[in-house]
Amino acid sequence: MTQEDLAKKLNKAVISVNRWENGRGFPSRTNAAAILDIAQKGQVTDNCLNYLREVLMPDCTRTRASTAYGYPDIDRDFLFQLADGSINRLYVIEDKTYQLLYANRAAEQYAVENLATLGIDAKERKLINESDKRCFHYFANKQTPCSFCPLFEINQQEYKIITISIPEEGKCIKVQAKQSEMKGRKVYIMYLTDISNHEEK
């Protein structure tokens, strides 16, 4: 079954299924149940079904962070919904390797639109995404870091706010970024807001 087939059965956008498959998000419990139902109707083995249940519907989806900050009722799915509901782009990028570990819906949409302006269609974009997850390649099909990369200026664990200009796009972007750690890896958390219209006034 292709991503397109699954997306159609779930009545979801293909980009959502692509994100799940590439580990940049998780299906909601409703979608997880629907996926299990599709698998069952497809007559997969019991072992396969049990594995799917374990992956899609773990007993505990609450994050340590949600409990630590006093919000024990917030689960992982809801946190992803919060990130995806933002009009700001959110990235998590690994230090030194530039590997994109997470991108919210706004960031994914930016990638689609930006690569389209470069004449790259959906099929080519899929190949780009599968072959190279470095942020500059994923979002702009470049082979080296962008000259305006804000990571060059971020070296602290408190949020730093900087403004960058992207000449190729004629845009001005406000970046809030900080260093952090994720599963033992040093990463950068970045929020990007397009302030081009504000700068023109």
Q: How many domains, the chain?
A: 2
Contact 186, 94 (CB under 8 A): yes
- Which H/E stretch holds residue 194? strand 185-194
Domain extent, residue 124, equals 85-200
- Sheet containing 160-166: give its strands across: 100-103, 89-94, 185-194, 171-182, 160-166
For the segment 74-94, the average pLDDT, to the nearest whole number, is 83
Which three-class secondary structure string do you get for 20-47? HHCCCCCCCHHHHHHHHHHHHHCCCCHH
pLDDT of residue 43: 67
pLDDT of residue 159: 83
pLDDT digits (tens, 9 = 90+) for 103-161: 898 998 888 888 888 888 767 777 766 667 889 988 888 899 988 888 888 877 778 89
pLDDT digits (tens, 9 = 90+) for 30-75: 667 777 777 777 766 776 666 666 666 554 334 444 444 455 566 6
Contact 193, 104 (CB under 8 A): no
Angle formed at CA 78 by CA 73 and CA 79, multiple of 5 degrees: 100
Q: Examine residue 159 and state whether it is found in any structural domain, yes or no.
A: yes
For the segment 178-188, the average pLDDT, to the nearest whole number, is 88
Domain end position, chosen among 73, 98, 118:
73
pTM over 0.95: no
Burial of 3 (0-12, 13-18, 19+ CB in 10 A): middle
Clarify whether residues 46 and 93 are in a common domain: no
For the segment 154-176, the average pLDDT, to the nearest whole number, is 84
Clarify whether residues 182 and 131 are in a common domain: yes
Q: Examine residue 79 and state whether it is found in any structural domain, yes or no.
A: no
Contact 109, 135 (CB under 8 A): no
Clarify whether residues 104 and 187 are in a common domain: yes
